[in-house]
Structure 1
Amino acid sequence: MKQNDLVVGQRWISDTEPELGLGIVVDLDARAMTVFFPCADDTRVYARQNAPLTRIQFMVGDSINDSDEQRWTVEQVIGQDGLLSYDVIDADGNTKRLMEARLSAQLHLSRPRERLLAAQVDSRAWFALRQAALRERLQQARSPVRGLAGARVGLIPHQLSVANTVANRLSPRVLLADEVGLGKTIEAGLIIHAQRVQGRAERVLILLPDSLVHQWLVEMRRRFNLAFSLFDLERCAAMAETGENPFASEQLIIAPLSLLTDHPLLHVQALAAPWDMLVVDEAHHLAWSPEHSSIEYDTVAALAAAVPSLLLLTATPEQLGVESHFARLQLLDPARYPSLDEFMSAHEQWDETRALADALLDNQLSATQTALLGQQLADLALDLSAEAGRQQALNALLDRYGLGRVLFRNTRTAVGGFPARDSQPVWLDAPECYAPWLAKGAIWPETRVDEESFLAHDPRIAWLTDWLKSHRRDKCLLITRTAAIAEALETHLRLREGIRTAVFHEAMNLLERDRAAAYFAEPDMGAQILLCSEIGSEGRNFQFAHHLVLFDMPDNPDQLEQRIGRLDRIGQTQTINLHVPLLKNSAQARLYRWYDEALNVFARCSPTAQSVHEAYIAELKPLLRPSSAEADLDGLIHEAIGERELLEADLASGRDRLLELQSCRQDIAQPLVNALTEQDQDTRLDELMLAAWEAFGVHVDDQGQPRTWILQPGEHQLIDAFPGLDPEGMTVCADRDLALAHEDWHFLTWEHPMVQGVLDWMSTHTQGMVQVAVLRNKSVKAGTLLLEAWYQPSVLARRDLALDRALGHEPLRVLADVHGRNLAAQVSAPNLAKQLDVPDAKLARSVIKAHRPEAELLIKGANQAAEGALAAHREQALATWQALEETELKRLLALAEINPSVREAEITQQRERVAAGAQALADVTMQLTALRLIIAA
């Protein structure tokens, strides 16, 4: 595409999304072109350089439709000032000049015919690759795990249950409130990824505390292949000079919330940009009370009111308190939660429902509760004395539980499977150079001296060296506050002690961090110890290791839990050994006692620790000084223990087991795990990609591990940029467990950008469209001609409807003979393929030239057969659509009768969706995708 030839009014088609139909250029500037696609009612903005678009120009003899869908034949093509017009004639002999702007947007290309008649034949490999790619596009569109399969995550039931439930909604607005360590970020990433794959969310804004920005950026890219752009003040200021709204320049944006609260103009610009989804982490820090709301809360509330989908990640409701919990819910649905008083009233009703659920689960229904259930579930004939009847009652309560649709909260107790923790303090004598700083109560005296003194005198280094040398076979993760300490320790251990080390901190780029993590993960010759800074370790999990060295102590328990959480994850198989080297009579030693005795954080993950810590922090600080009386610290610890135990008792009594069941529906989760496991084990992906790499000229080396390959751009690659291939090369792995263990490898799935890129490329380019074959069958007369044709069902509609789910598993195959018959039912594709040889290109071209009239006749017969099958195909597609979407509409309507949390907007959207899909499917066509001319020998 020549950017200087662009003119408003030109017609273009998307190479990657042909289903958008024929677009028209509506605006141009120095860097971008804006194209409107009428069929999809969608406007896209592309960079003028390298836009994935193709200029449409019809030739003399082509049949085209005008915007009134009247059919014309092109007699002459005229070009003027960059625009085309066509002299056309219709079947009645009427003529006119048709400007390209008046062309129908419903463009259906049948290029295989033109290529066959022009004797443009393809190799056996390309033809097979095209067939496989088009078939897989149809099959993957109907996958029950579509949108969930592409993430580099373990198959953890509660995460998949939440993600599937939320991602399948239209414009979901939910609160994700799992306990720490259960994967709220992964759930959010799965939802974002699935909604994008399904076409339901294109533009996503994630707002975060400053400290979490880089963690999320890494997680989204590494786990979900979501290339978010990081927005900060410098970037926004640079774009402001162009007069553009910076938030309209990218589709996926991560920004610190402070960027909007500190700069009102940027908040206004963020509001002005169109978003499909807003995600806010640490939402419990958005302060609100009936008397006053913070600027952070107001900023998010304004965006939440303007954006259709909203994900709030927050602490558990018990930690929030009722007022704060209400404030989060009001962000989600202000109509459902208009006031705190009404919420308190509803809360009492929910307490009653929860009590019924507890009694059902424990099989301890009282007579009063049995009668109450009978009244509430009068429409169900329940036998509560039987297990099946109690389960049916429980399912009915789940449907009626208002909070269960907007709040998802999994607990460690309900999920289970977490390891034990074993805290092992090591008491060491403090060096003289630390004495003046320790006397002042410094928690981190090593930061007050130069590196040389630190390395020469800190006793923790000698202890660490001895421990590593006596545990050569054990992997060890060390976390310290700063990158400087991590680097100093790594250099010392590697150069002076000969220990295999890796370092990991925030100053390293993503590739360097991945390589360090991979070196640490290598079981035999990898690093024995990975030394991490506080920030550098965020978002990374190393559950294959069982030893964690806390070289220093963070100053709040949440940060300490973040450290331990790098190992304390689902999937950890052994007790976590927490090694804590401490300087005697120091602030760190006292802080350890506080964390261990008062907060109990070394024994288990404590949901009350941060609350108790904040309540006592003012009293604790002076007691950290070694000069303060130990007895005073003993007293404060004793008081804090009492407060913690009271909070823990309140949490236990307020445990919402009904919500826990709703947050992890085993009837949803287990089939998803099974389907994903089955897909992971299917090697069709390997076969297709190996064929694609060979066809395109990508250099491939077997890595040595199962289903793992090293890819490099080939010297004679067919295209300059193979989809998804890094210019410097990359390692891809189709084994989930191996990909999880090697973070520098790409996890290859049907949803990986490389695989999607190949499928898209094959559907929009001409390679593999045409083949000539020789039939070796003595029962068929020599010289007999057959034509094997494949048709892909095609429908032009909004992408978010995902109508490809209704279009069938396989392309339509026609086997036409010169008598106008379709023999596909009598001769299967596999049986026919066994009898075919593919001649060289020269012979193939001679066959076509010798039989061109018969080939045209065969194509016409094949097209007629496809047209004849179209009505039945449309009927089946519509039936499939109704089974999918009308069923969902009926479910929502029934649910709304008993659950007020079903928003009217959801029902309206679903009604519109059903109607729009049915209307589009009425116009399904068959697009010719490949032709094989067969001549009997």
Structure 2
Amino acid sequence: MTFLQTQIEIKVEKLQQFAIGQRWLSDTETELGLGVLIDVDERSISILFPKSDETRVYARNNAPLSRIVFNVNDEVQDQEGNIWTVESLEDRHGVIRYNVVRKLEDGSDERKSLNETRIGASIQLSKPLDRLLASQIDYKEWYDLRIEAMQMQANMQTSPLRGLVGARVGLIPHQLYIAHEVGKRFAPRVLLADEVGLGKTIEAGLIIHQQLKTGRSERILILVPDSLQYQWMIEMRRRFNLQFSLFDLTRTASIKEHDPELNPFLTEQCIIASVDLMIDHDDLREQALEAGFDLLVVDEAHHLMWSEEEGGNDRYDLVEEFAEQTPGVLLLTATPEQLGVESHFARLRLLDPQRFSALDRFLDEEEQYHTTAKIAEVLMSDLPLEPAHLEAVEKLLGHPIADEPEQRFRAIHELLDRHGTGRILFRNTREAIQGFPGRDCQPAALPAPENWSKDGKLREQMWPEEAQLDGLWMETDPRVNWLMERLRTDLKHKKVLLIARSGPVVEALENALRLHAGIRTAMFHEAMSLLERDQAAAYFAEDSYGAQILLCSEIGSEGRNFQFASDLVLFDLPANPDVLEQRIGRLDRIGQENRIQIHVPYLIGTAQERMFRWYNEALNIFSNISPTAQTLQENFIVDLKDCLLADKGQQFEDLLEEVNVQRQALEAELQEGRDRLLEYNSCRPMVAQEIVQALEDYDDNTLLPMFMKRFMASTNIDFDEQSNGTVIIKPTDQMQVQGLDIDEDGMTVTFYRDQAQIREDAQYLTLEHPFTESVMEMIRTQSFGSTNVALLKTNALKQGSVLLEVWFKVDVVAPKALGLPSSLPTQLIRVLLTENGQDISAKLDPEIIKPYLHHLDSNSCRQVVKARREIIEQRYKQALDIAKSSLPALKEQAKEIYGSKWQYEIDRLTYLKQFNPSIRVDEIERLQKLQKEGLTLLDGLAVTPEAIQVLVVVKP
């Protein structure tokens, strides 16, 4: 007590008046619950803690106890577990009697008097002031962490990057532009049609992530072909930390068996299912439709066929049924017009049947649009505008423009906004995006062994090794020795990705390379667990001591990208050109810095050689992405199979020549028909670059790494920083917080985007990662760090006096989708008052006084609170009044910001609706409804106390 007596002017008050029946809380053992005083004499008091069935005896003069008295409007729980609200209270010889009320099921009120001895033993003080006065005082570090967490959350609420920062993706402008443009819409209905390798799945994932984070969508259904279910699930989990459930026949049957009355599709919020599951099982389709979703995502949308005469195929009809009942729809295809303008129209019709109701009218509009596109191309070029161009622009826009850069720029954007499919269709091409180094084919013609099958089924001729699970095929297959030799020589110092069709083949090859050739290897196939695959990918990614070669089964060409490697070995060739493109696409992607070298071993005079020649000479698929490859193969599949099964001589040569000619003609036609205005609209460079720059700034300046490390250190969460920049996080038995989303076995994380791109075994920790969100949620909803007492060492204030700092959160109760917090001019109010009530909040910024604040031991903290209780309560009431007094001005500012933001978009869309029929009436009406709802809810703006700190002024 010496320190407090000399540094603080404490008036020693008369000894506490103890009375049997009073309720007290232990300052040092709050987990004991609420105690009742059962005995008192001149020297000691005895407290029974019913919750823990323990009795403690304390010295009467310095018992570490806090008297618990509930105030009017507080909620209390009786010993039967009923919740009551305090209406009034009275002191009867030191024991409190509460007059309480509660609502009954029939809506009537029940009132009674409740002696404090009948209060339940469980107590959770959540209000900062209550906790402070009850001497529940947190560590100074916890208090600081709480304030920093609130500030980071407030900044993210207002950030235009919300929903974008948490994705493990590179900062690719066109992907981020589409995500930003579409993800912020309510019920977006668009066709994502980028060319292969430009990241449609990433774009869809970014949109889904944004929709979920902003509350615009909560229930999402992804419909894909059977072969892509796993890829989508992994992509959503690894890149976006989104837990989608895979629904197949086994899972739905299991749910039905457990509860026949339960709709399986109501058991999860985010679901991936195959299109065939829905087509083959009417009952499941009906249940999925009945369950309802906010957003429907359909991959491989070019398989949705439709014609005016015959209608749609079964896939089209299925998606049409879901699209009619789902507000938001994303269709993904790399070939929007490849299968004909009628099929292209059919997909647009799914997105907006009112806008695209007649094919003839659509064709007329497309014809007229060619003029617009040509004018836009001139505007985007450096060529001077001729009088005919200026006249055409004036006719299109309704007003003249001058041939000046700014006016040309504005004219382009007006044309983009008015373009018929501009808001619905997004298509980026490799030629428009650029930045692809290209690829080269390195064929290896090998002599076929005598026992090689040259007749029989195509499978037996192409992939005979798959029938020999014992691995005996390796003894005679020349591809094995060729591979070993290449890895020892030309490819010795390179990272090599090998893809084969099946897991057993990969295992046999890996075993031979590792044991017989001494080559560092890693494997990746369907029999491995997710953790094992992550570890294999991480070992392959290691620069100095990692695997030289990663051997993958076909799943290696789905969902994983290895742009840091540039050598690809195709140990065999798939039967489908799309699958082949997927394989090559693991390396030939955005971010690849070197030309891809595609090594293709094949056996001379076999079906393997003929398949290689088909892909190389007819489809040209090894040198370039061929948007026509799949269509051409389907058109010539009968002739192709005949030639693959047996050597047809000149017939095969003629087939190669005919298909090659057709391919070149189709590609020339596609190139001629390139819609450069659409491409520009799919990635407006200036806007895209602003988004990239904002994310780069966020990455460079985020305070999250230091915050998380301090949080874990202060709460006994084990974290081990590795030399490679990753951090291993593990829970411990001594953890001081509960309810965090942390793996029991621990997890490897990184805070850095570049490293997250390479180390797929490490989770990318951002403000939008589930673990970080669980930390923020725990801090927001629990009392973590909400109270503190500290020393303020300064000569500028009266020695021994106290200051009170209170943080309030500006709250508004509203649906998440409205995004009202983003319109608040401030979300946190800090009030700092001197002991005599002077408001010095503006004079002493928290960052200014932070270096002068110091820890105070817990016993001294309790003594300060008890000695200055009356002052603390008075200043707190004053702080609350100050915070409340700022609400009217905040409310008006918030309404202005919120209303203007929505009104701008409403006015813009209303104006553009005159020229662009793709803008839906219901879209505008919904914006108007949301604007009105938000403005009404902002009237309920309130402040909530979040943290309170007592500062004791002492000499430096």
Change (3 A) 1:778 1:85: closer
Aligned twin of 2:423: 405
Q: Kindly indicate whether the alpha-carbon contact (under 8 Å) linking 1:477 and 1:531 is maintained by their aligned counterparts in 2.
A: yes
Change (3 A) 1:560 1:203: same
Which AA in structure 2 matches 1:795? V
Q: Distance in 2 between matches of 1:661 and 1:509?
A: 42
Aligned twin of 1:198: 214
User: How far apart are 1:425 and its partner, in Å?
Assistant: 0.9
Q: Kindly indicate whether the alpha-carbon contact (under 8 Å) linking 1:88 and 1:98 is maintained by their aligned counterparts in 2.
A: no
Q: Of 768, 774, 777, which residue of structure 1 is paired with 2:791?
A: 774
- Where relative contact order (Cα < 8 A, 6+ residues apart) is larger, the structure is 1
Aligned twin of 1:478: 498
Aligned twin of 1:446: 465
User: How far apart are 1:635 and its partner, in Å?
Assistant: 1.0
Q: Distance in 2 between matches of 1:657 and 1:884?
A: 31
Change (3 A) 1:308 1:62: farther
Aligned twin of 2:144: 128
Q: Distance in 1 between matches of 2:332 and 2:692?
A: 24
Q: Kindly indicate whether the alpha-carbon contact (under 8 Å) linking 1:356 and 1:365 is maintained by their aligned counterparts in 2.
A: no
CA distances 1:104-151 after superposition (whole Å, capped 9, x unpaired):
9xxxx9700111111111111111111111111101111121101100
Aligned twin of 1:272: 290
Aligned twin of 2:369: 350
Which structure 1 residue ranges, 5 or more long, are not aligned?
1-58, 65-72
In the TM superposition, 1:741-890 aligns within 5 A as 741-808=758-825, 811-890=828-907
Q: Kindly indicate whether the alpha-carbon contact (under 8 Å) linking 1:438 and 1:587 is maintained by their aligned counterparts in 2.
A: no
Q: Helix, strand or coil: the match of 1:787?
A: strand
Matched, 1:699 2:718: yes
Aligned twin of 2:510: 490
Q: Distance in 2 between matches of 1:854 and 1:83?
A: 34
Q: Distance in 2 between matches of 1:676 and 1:153?
A: 11
Change (3 A) 1:450 1:909: closer
Matched, 1:99 2:117: no
User: How far apart are 1:534 and its partner, in Å?
Assistant: 1.2
Aligned twin of 1:284: 302
Q: Of 264, 267, 270, which residue of structure 2 is paired with 1:246?
A: 264
Q: Distance in 2 between matches of 1:156 and 1:439?
A: 45
CA distances 1:239-292 after superposition (whole Å, capped 9, x unpaired):
113020000000111111111110000000000113111100001102222213
Q: Distance in 2 between matches of 1:816 and 1:452?
A: 80
Q: Kindly indicate whether the alpha-carbon contact (under 8 Å) linking 1:139 and 1:809 is maintained by their aligned counterparts in 2.
A: no
Matched, 1:361 2:377: no
Change (3 A) 1:367 1:637: farther
Q: Distance in 1 between matches of 2:411 and 2:447?
A: 63
Change (3 A) 1:599 1:364: farther
Matched, 1:506 2:526: yes
Matched, 1:317 2:336: yes
Matched, 1:580 2:629: no
Aligned twin of 1:28: none
Q: Helix, strand or coil: the match of 2:307?
A: coil
Q: Distance in 2 between matches of 1:192 and 1:755?
A: 19
CA distances 1:599-631 after superposition (whole Å, capped 9, x unpaired):
1111111111111222112112111244322x2
Which AA in structure 2 matches 1:778? N
Aligned twin of 1:528: 548
Indicate the structure (1 or 2) with the bigger Cα radius of gyration: 2
Q: Distance in 2 between matches of 1:111 and 1:886?
A: 39
Aligned twin of 2:53: none
Aligned twin of 1:424: 442
Q: Distance in 2 between matches of 1:328 and 1:186?
A: 21
Change (3 A) 1:342 1:843: same
Q: Kindly indicate whether the alpha-carbon contact (under 8 Å) linking 2:72 and 2:88 is maintained by their aligned counterparts in 1.
A: no
Matched, 1:258 2:280: no
CA distances 1:179-233 after superposition (whole Å, capped 9, x unpaired):
1110000000000001111111111110100000000010000000001011010
User: How far apart are 1:536 and its partner, in Å?
Assistant: 3.5
Aligned twin of 1:543: 563
Aligned twin of 1:4: none
Q: Kindly indicate whether the alpha-carbon contact (under 8 Å) linking 2:393 and 2:401 is maintained by their aligned counterparts in 1.
A: no
CA distances 1:92-113 after superposition (whole Å, capped 9, x unpaired):
xxx9944077799xxxx97001
Aligned twin of 1:567: 587
Q: Kindly indicate whether the alpha-carbon contact (under 8 Å) linking 2:469 and 2:504 is maintained by their aligned counterparts in 1.
A: no
Q: Helix, strand or coil: the match of 1:548?
A: strand
Q: Distance in 1 between matches of 2:724 and 2:104?
A: 54
Q: Of 320, 334, 348, which residue of structure 2 is paired with 1:329?
A: 348
Q: Kindly indicate whether the alpha-carbon contact (under 8 Å) linking 2:296 and 2:328 is maintained by their aligned counterparts in 1.
A: yes
Q: Distance in 2 between matches of 1:389 and 1:807?
A: 35
CA distances 1:290-341 after superposition (whole Å, capped 9, x unpaired):
2132221111111111111100001332313111111111110111111222
Matched, 1:376 2:396: yes
Change (3 A) 1:103 1:183: farther
Identity of paired residues, percent?
Answer: 46
User: How far apart are 1:442 and its partner, in Å?
Assistant: 1.9
Q: Kindly indicate whether the alpha-carbon contact (under 8 Å) linking 1:475 and 1:546 is maintained by their aligned counterparts in 2.
A: yes
Q: Helix, strand or coil: the match of 1:319?
A: coil
Which AA in structure 2 matches 1:718? Q
Aligned twin of 2:744: 727
TM-score (norm 2): 0.87
Q: Distance in 2 between matches of 1:142 and 1:128?
A: 22
Q: Kindly indicate whether the alpha-carbon contact (under 8 Å) linking 1:421 and 1:602 is maintained by their aligned counterparts in 2.
A: yes
Q: Distance in 1 between matches of 2:946 and 2:723?
A: 37
Q: Kindly indicate whether the alpha-carbon contact (under 8 Å) linking 2:561 and 2:587 is maintained by their aligned counterparts in 1.
A: yes
Which AA in structure 2 matches 1:225? N
Q: Distance in 1 between matches of 2:284 and 2:575?
A: 33
Change (3 A) 1:705 1:87: closer
Which AA in structure 2 matches 1:266? L
User: How far apart are 1:781 and its partner, in Å?
Assistant: 2.8
Change (3 A) 1:680 1:260: same
Q: Kindly indicate whether the alpha-carbon contact (under 8 Å) linking 2:71 and 2:86 is maintained by their aligned counterparts in 1.
A: no
User: How far apart are 1:632 and its partner, in Å?
Assistant: 1.4
User: How far apart are 1:474 and its partner, in Å?
Assistant: 0.9
Q: Kindly indicate whether the alpha-carbon contact (under 8 Å) linking 2:430 and 2:436 is maintained by their aligned counterparts in 1.
A: yes
Q: Helix, strand or coil: the match of 1:88?
A: strand
Q: Kindly indicate whether the alpha-carbon contact (under 8 Å) linking 1:176 and 1:314 is maintained by their aligned counterparts in 2.
A: yes
Q: Of 889, 892, 912, which residue of structure 1 is paired with 2:909?
A: 892
Which AA in structure 1 matches 2:448? A
In the TM superposition, 1:588-599 aligns within 5 A as 588-599=608-619
User: How far apart are 1:588 and its partner, in Å?
Assistant: 1.1
Q: Helix, strand or coil: the match of 2:160?
A: coil
Aligned twin of 1:88: 87
User: How far apart are 1:743 and its partner, in Å?
Assistant: 0.3
Aligned twin of 2:478: 459
Q: Kindly indicate whether the alpha-carbon contact (under 8 Å) linking 2:454 and 2:607 is maintained by their aligned counterparts in 1.
A: no
Aligned twin of 1:175: 191
User: How far apart are 1:809 and its partner, in Å?
Assistant: 5.0
CA distances 1:495-518 after superposition (whole Å, capped 9, x unpaired):
122111111112222111111111
Q: Distance in 2 between matches of 1:364 and 1:262?
A: 59
Q: Distance in 1 between matches of 2:139 and 2:78?
A: 36
Matched, 1:237 2:237: no
User: How far apart are 1:774 and its partner, in Å?
Assistant: 2.5
Q: Kindly indicate whether the alpha-carbon contact (under 8 Å) linking 1:86 and 1:99 is maintained by their aligned counterparts in 2.
A: no
Which structure 2 residue ranges, 5 or more long, are not aligned?
1-67, 90-98, 110-124
Q: Helix, strand or coil: the match of 1:311?
A: strand
Aligned twin of 1:21: none
Q: Helix, strand or coil: the match of 1:535?
A: helix
In the TM superposition, 1:104-123 aligns within 5 A as 111-123=127-139
Aligned twin of 2:698: 679
Which AA in structure 1 matches 2:350? L
Q: Of 647, 650, 660, which residue of structure 1 is paired with 2:669?
A: 650
Q: Kindly indicate whether the alpha-carbon contact (under 8 Å) linking 1:818 and 1:857 is maintained by their aligned counterparts in 2.
A: no
Q: Helix, strand or coil: the match of 1:898?
A: coil
